Amino acid sequence: MWLAIVLTAGGCYLLKLAGLSVPIAVLERPVVQRIADLLPVALLTALIGVQVFASGSQLVVDARLAGLAAATVALLLRAPFIVVVFVAAATAAVVRLL
Amino acid sequence: MTTAPPPEPALSPNDRSAIIRDGIAVGVATGVYGLSFGAISVAAGLTVLQTCALSILAFTGATQFALVGVVASGGAPMSGMVTGLLLGTRNTLYGLRVAPLLDWRGWRRAAAAHFLIDETTAMSVNRATRAAARIGFLSTGLAVFALWNLATLAGAIAGESLGDPRIYGLDAAVAGAFLALAWPRLKSRRNQLVAVLAVALALSLVPVTAAGVPVLAAAVIALLMGLVPDSSDTDEIRADELPAAERSDGGERG
Predicted local confidence at residue B147, as pLDDT: 95
Of A90, A59, A75, nearest to B205 by C-alpha is: A59
pLDDT band at A35 (very low <50, low <70, confident <90, very high): confident
Residue A28 lies in a domain: yes
Domain extent for A52: 24-59
Distance of alpha carbon A84 from alpha carbon B176, whole angstroms: 6
Which residue from B minimizes the CA distance to A64? Answer: B172
- Window 11-30 of A: residues touching B by CB (8 A cutoff) are 11-13, 15-22, 24, 27-28, 30
Residues A41 and A31 in one domain: yes
Q: Which residues contact A11 (CB under 8 A, 6 or more apart)?
A: B81, B85, B88
Asked if residues A19 and B99 have their Cβ atoms less than 8 Å apart, the reply is yes
Residue A15 lies in a domain: no
Which residue would you say has higher pLDDT here, A15 or B10? A15
Domain ranges for chain B: 13-184, 186-254
Predicted local confidence at residue B241, as pLDDT: 40
Q: How many structural domains are present in chain A?
A: 2
Which residue would you say has higher pLDDT here, B162 or A73? A73
Predicted local confidence at residue B68, as pLDDT: 82
The CA-to-CA distance between both ends of chain B, in Å, stands at 17
pLDDT band at A80 (very low <50, low <70, confident <90, very high): confident
Please write the tens of the pLDDT for every residue from A48-61.
Answer: 898 889 887 889 99
Residues A30 and A55 in one domain: yes
Residues A89 and A65 in one domain: yes
Chain A contact set for B175 (CB, 8 A): 48, 51-52, 64, 67-68, 71, 88
pLDDT band at A23 (very low <50, low <70, confident <90, very high): confident
Q: Which of A31, A51, A58 sits opposite B207 (nearest CB)?
A: A58
Q: Number of CB pairs < 8 Å for A and B?
A: 315
Predicted local confidence at residue B234, as pLDDT: 41
Q: Is the pLDDT of residue A65 over 70?
A: yes
Q: Which residues contact A71 (CB under 8 A, 6 or more apart)?
A: A84, A85, A87, A88, A91, B172, B175, B176, B179, B180
Chain B contact set for A52 (CB, 8 A): 172, 175
Residues A79 and A96 in one domain: yes
Distance of alpha carbon B19 from alpha carbon B142, whole angstroms: 13
CB spacing of A42 vs B168 below 8 angstroms? no
CB spacing of A48 vs B96 below 8 angstroms? no
Burial class (CB in 10 A: 0-12, 13-18, 19+), A24: exposed
A55 three-class SS = strand
Predicted local confidence at residue B29, as pLDDT: 79
Predicted local confidence at residue B232, as pLDDT: 42
Residue A12 lies in a domain: no
Which ipTM score applies to this complex? 0.84
Predicted local confidence at residue B53, as pLDDT: 97
Distance of alpha carbon B152 from alpha carbon B133, whole angstroms: 27
From first to last of its 254 residues, chain B has per-residue pLDDT tens of 444 445 566 788 888 998 999 899 888 878 877 887 887 788 778 999 999 999 999 999 878 887 887 777 666 788 778 778 877 877 888 888 899 889 999 999 999 999 999 889 988 987 889 999 999 999 999 999 999 999 999 989 987 676 666 777 777 877 887 788 789 889 999 999 999 999 999 999 989 887 767 877 888 898 899 998 764 444 344 444 433 333 333 333 33
Distance of alpha carbon B138 from alpha carbon B121, whole angstroms: 10
A63 interfacial to chain B (CB closer than 8 Å): yes
Chain A contact set for B230 (CB, 8 A): 30, 34
Residue A73 lies in a domain: yes
Residues A51 and A37 in one domain: yes
Partnered with residue A54 across adjacent β-strands are: A59
Residue A1 lies in a domain: no
Q: Which of B67, B167, B190 sits opposite A96 (nearest CB)?
A: B167
Q: Is the pLDDT of residue A2 over 90?
A: yes
Predicted local confidence at residue B225, as pLDDT: 92
CB spacing of A84 vs B177 below 8 angstroms? yes
Distance of alpha carbon B148 from alpha carbon B56, whole angstroms: 9
Predicted local confidence at residue B160, as pLDDT: 62
Residue A3 lies in a domain: no
Chain B contact set for A72 (CB, 8 A): 179
> Cα separations (Å) of B82 from A29, A39, A55, B70?
30, 20, 20, 10
Residues A49 and A75 in one domain: no
Distance of alpha carbon A62 from alpha carbon A38, whole angstroms: 29
